[in-house]
Structure 1
Amino acid sequence: MFSSTKALQVSELTQIIQKLLEENLNDICLEGEISNYRPASSGHVYFTLKDNHSVISAVMFRSSASALRFRPKDGDFVKVTGRLSVYPPRGSYQIVCDTMDLAGEGQLLAILEQRKQRFAQLGYFDANKKKQIPSYPERIAIITSPTGAAIRDIQRVIKSRYDNVHLIVVPSLVQGNEAGDALAKRVRQINRLGLADVIILTRGGGSLEDLICFSEEILVQAVVDSRIPIISAVGHEIDWALTDFAADYRAATPSAAAEKVTENWLNFYDRLYSASQDMRYFVQNQIDQVRKMTGIFSKQDIQRSFQIYLQPFQQRLDEAKEQLMRHIKQNLDDKCNWLNIRLAQLEEFNPQKIIRRGYSLIKDEEGNIVSTSKIVNPQDRLTIHLQDGHIETVVQGVTNEEQ
């Protein structure tokens, strides 16, 4: 490539070094302590990584820095992946970082404690904001890996306690850099569609690094915003995540979460079974008592006792019937007498009866009764009604006598 006897320009040597480094060291993983951490207004961050003996410059451009899950600071011990790059104007080399994670469990705990304090100050963990877990949920959404042990444990417990519940398994990543976003998306989807009465957010046990996605800010925020009550059941009893503090109820294990959502159903069916047994015993006891009472009597004795019991009622019924008939007859007689009296009164005022005594009834052409001469004029045609017929006549003259 070059000869030691030929003089090189500085830029030529820099280009050779750049080519060697960038072509051969383009995928490296490096651990070290951050120092001189400098975020730029452009979104890029600049810092150095060091150990006890050496220092290397580092840069993380905005596209990668925006995906960081924590806030780096001087003194953090981190693990980065990236590639070596040479900056020709200064003849220096640096590592261009694509990812950055805390190295070591102690650093993860420090980050989680930092987040925990910040979320607590925002009120995410306030007890008065916790929603009540439904007493008798009929639809239970489970956000977890569809192939993990957690879903099998939950299904086994729920089916053994209350087989009629509707389980909705919502598959999601539960580990890795993209798991926090995926879990948060599932929580929001269930709320948007109203799929369940309660949500179980769960996975099996693992290392602190495995469970870190359940402490991501985006997931904690989704849990706090959820209108549907959420149970957090992450890992084993000794494991914990920030969703445990943000959720409405924290279950020590996935099985404990299943027991929580079915505890009232189980008690309800226990009480129902106990009540049915008590009722069955009571009814059977009453039947036995009746059998004992009826067993000492013959059929004839029962019929005779029934007749003796029924006789007073039959007698009262006959008496009431006779009294009713007498009352009806008396009422009819009274009505007939009243009608006869009224008929006699009407007969006294019958015009035919008056006519038979020698009087007559005079009517004009319209059939009106003529009761005074003042309404009659000469040439009027009148009809005179007598006892045995009537006379048609024409008025020749009218004489009015003053009273």
Structure 2
Amino acid sequence: MYIKTLTVSELNNYIKKVIDSDFILGNAYIKGEISNFKLHSSGHIYFSLKDDGGKINCIMFRSDAENLKFMPENGMKVNVKGRVSVYIKDGAYQLYCKQIELEGMGELYIAFENLKEKLFKEGLFSDVHKKAIPKHPRRIGVITSRTGAAIRDIINVSTRRNKNVNLLICPVLVQGINAATELVAAVEKLNKIDDVDVIIMARGGGSIEELWAFNDEKLAYAVYSSNKPIISGVGHETDFTIVDFVSDKRAPTPSAAAEIAVQDLSQLNDKLGSMKKNFDNEIKYYFENRHNELSIKRKLIEKYSPEAFIANGYSNIDKLYNLLLIKTKNKIEIEKQKLTKCQSVLKANNPHNILNKGYSIIENNLGKCIDSIDELKEDSEVRIIMKDGRVETSIGKITRSTTDRLQ
């Protein structure tokens, strides 16, 4: 019997035709719990529908999603109407949803909310109890799976930011019934190591079941009681676990947790270079100011020093001496001018000058000038002063005549 050899695409197309022709698969009503919910920017909705025994990937196109009466969330129990078909490119079957009806909250989601409310009331989420993350840890403890993508991301990011980073890997299970126990033991173990400064607890994304170990109550108390600060980097940015709320710092991804714990060495070097430049400028500015201050004080000292005072004193004396000479000379000159003027006035008014005109002056024996006949008596001794000499004589007869008096 001849059997035709099929390509992968032909096989997937054949399976798709078989499934699409099935009446039950074409008109399926499925109930289960929503997980891995994602609303795409295109408006399409992607999620998984699961129960205790299995899981199926689902998609609802925007045209159908616009008719929803509620926004689906992880943990919701729903009834979905749609058709099962094959996505040829991946060879995977999935449920193409037409309608989604709310049935109730998933049991895990309810348990998560109950534990979250309990721990919140106990104060485990309070910022008051959160420890500061050291900026430059000597050693970083990492709690995660030995083989998961999270450990590779943390190592890659850490070594890229600082090639000298010291990571202490504490491998644990991050999924399954024993995962929570191992996570608690890892926290307690790293707390006993003195040179571990900060702890990263991380794993990659997943459904609520896959992340359930990080919603364990004992682990929450272990993280809360840790003496060393803990950074949680569990799942993707939209995933939240109890550990995220209790930890000292929540990172949206394992890579982001490494970025928080490990300072970028190049940025540190740039910062140190900038600080050094600023410090050098400050030192230079400081010494320039001190130098200027010293120069000013030196000039003041020179200005007010005894030597300068004495030198300035001599200079002031010279100035005063020259000023005194000038003022004295000016004063003498002014007084000379006054004297000359007075001499001219005296000369002009000197009675002796009248003698040159033929007049004479009569004085009594006391040298007093006689200007009236009333001052004379007969036989009185008088002195007659003329221009060329003096005559002493006595008065004879005195005759009073008004016609002879000079006018």
TM band (smaller chain): 0.3 to 0.5
Normalised to the residue count of structure 1, the TM-score between the two structures is: 0.42
